[in-house]
């Protein structure tokens, strides 16, 4: 079934608001918010605003019901997991910091944490800090020459010393999708815990975390067609239950004295204070919107656009594509360099033609080092993109090459 992008774009108010030409190719950083999510956010803030979990009046009780309904919608997006396994956070970064904190009791001298060279800093720095606190060793899993996870190298590194493996489901630079199910089987064999950064993969369709076999899975609402300020850490209940509190304050407790506090069960133990209520409701609405889409058609649409973009870039002799040049096992995130020209200059010139791309190290400096560069241009696709967006980028690059010489 062919995707009617014009119809789909009606669900994204940004396309009505921005003057033409407008070609948004930076969804890997922040996807546009879908109309149901925006309406949920505005409805709460303008007509139904009250704090959740503690109020006993009708407005507060309604807010709490809506908040917990959002948790159920996210649970559906993740394959129908138990909603009590869904922890709301401020985003992927906080979710992964929570994971590193909660797993710290498993670490110590003689123990190892494996992270891949592909990781966003949000799935690297928290593990550096955890290892520094506990005396565990951080070990890097290499990437292949074309920017994929080196599965064979990972499996060689797995032994009884490994306590945690933390990796991205899909790279925010190369677009490469890791075979999480394969990794999970190998990790389980040595008794380690598998933490997955799903921030880039979730926007490309629902994920069944139980089928993947991972133990913890993190993502952000603002990359999944919701609002900024909300994210998720899903974890197997038996793993979350012994986690110590990450942040202390109201709501995460059952009893507080001056000398001691006792704590609630997950997920509430990890949701101290007033949560980002509006953004969470937007995330729930975005999850519901995502579950209503035909992802088989959308994935075919994305593959066609990615193939078109890769072919156009490959035809430019001074362009270097970072990552796999085939559309198998990848998402529509394509990073590249233009010989002798800084990515920021390229992005600014593209912006003059209405093409929105991102230039920099993409919070993945070890991967930049792997490729022997400091930065790159990145174009990232979403369901609302079409051939005109890809062609505008390619035509814009031809103009940039003429201007920069």
Active site residues: 363
Per-residue burial over 28-39, b = 16 or more CB atoms within 10 Å of its CB, e = otherwise = bbebbbbebbbe
Let me know: does 232 contact 283? Beta carbons within 8 Å.
yes
Let me know: does 244 contact 106? Beta carbons within 8 Å.
no
Question: CB-based burial of residue 251 (10 Å sphere; 0-12 exposed, 13-18 middle, 19+ buried)?
Answer: middle
Phi-psi region of 356 (alpha: psi -120 to 50; beta: other; left: phi over 0): beta
Give the list of residues 6+ apart from residue 272 with CB closer than 8 angstroms, or none.
245, 246, 247, 248, 249, 250, 251, 252
Q: Which residue has the tokens 């396994």?
A: 85
Distances (CA, A) of 150 to 40, 96, 172, 222, 242: 42, 22, 16, 29, 32
Show the tokens assigned to 268.
């509430």
Q: Which residues pair with 23 in a beta bridge?
A: 355
Rounded to whole angstroms, how far apart are CA atoms 90 and 63? 18
Give the list of residues 6+ apart from residue 368 with CB closer than 8 angstroms, or none.
173, 361, 362, 374, 375, 376
Rounded to whole angstroms, how far apart are CA atoms 35 and 233? 24
Rounded to whole angstroms, how far apart are CA atoms 292 and 256? 44
């Amino acid at each position: 079934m062919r995707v009617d992008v014009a119809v789909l774009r009606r669900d994204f108010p940004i396309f009505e608001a921005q003057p033409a030409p407008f070609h948004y190719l930076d969804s890997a950083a922040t996807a546009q918010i879908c109309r149901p999510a925006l309406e949920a956010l505005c409805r709460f803030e303008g007509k139904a605003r009250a704090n959740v979990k503690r109020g006993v009046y009708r407005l507060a009780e309604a807010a709490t019901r809506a908040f917990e309904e959002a948790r159920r919608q996210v649970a559906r997006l993740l394959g129908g997991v138990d909603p009590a396994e869904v922890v709301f956070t401020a985003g992927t970064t906080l979710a992964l910091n929570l994971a590193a904190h909660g797993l710290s009791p498993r670490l110590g001298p003689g123990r190892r944490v494996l992270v891949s060279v592909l990781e966003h800093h949000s799935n690297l720095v928290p593990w550096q800090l955890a290892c520094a606190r506990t005396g565990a060793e951080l070990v890097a899993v290499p990437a292949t020459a074309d920017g994929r996870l080196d599965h064979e190298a990972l499996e060689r590194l797995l032994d009884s010393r490994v306590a945690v493996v933390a990796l991205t489901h899909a790279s925010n630079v190369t677009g490469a999708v890791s075979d999480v199910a394969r990794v999970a089987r190998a990790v389980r064999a040595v008794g380690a815990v598998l933490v997955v950064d799903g921030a880039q993969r979730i926007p490309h369709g629902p994920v069944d975390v139980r089928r993947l076999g991972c133990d913890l899975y993190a993502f952000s609402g603002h990359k999944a067609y919701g609002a900024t300020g909300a994210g998720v850490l899903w974890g197997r209940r038996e793993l979350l239950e012994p986690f110590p509190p990450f942040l202390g304050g109201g709501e995460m407790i059952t009893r507080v004295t001056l000398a001691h506090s006792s704590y609630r069960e997950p997920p509430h133990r990890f949701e101290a204070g007033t949560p980002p209520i509006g953004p969470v409701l937007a995330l729930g609405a975005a999850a519901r919107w995502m579950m209503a889409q035909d992802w088989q058609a959308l994935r075919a649409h994305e593959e066609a656009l990615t193939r078109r973009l890769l072919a156009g870039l490959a035809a430019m002799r001074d362009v270097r594509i970072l990552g796999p040049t085939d559309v198998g096992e990848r998402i529509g995130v394509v990073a590249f360099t233009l010989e002798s020209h800084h990515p920021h200059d390229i992005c600014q010139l593209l912006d003059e033609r209405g093409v929105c791309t991102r230039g920099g190290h993409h919070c993945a400096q070890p991967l930049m080092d792997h490729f022997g560069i400091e930065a790159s241009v990145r174009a990232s696709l979403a369901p609302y993109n079409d051939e005109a967006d890809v062609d505008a980028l390619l035509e814009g690059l031809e103009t940039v090459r003429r201007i920069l010489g």
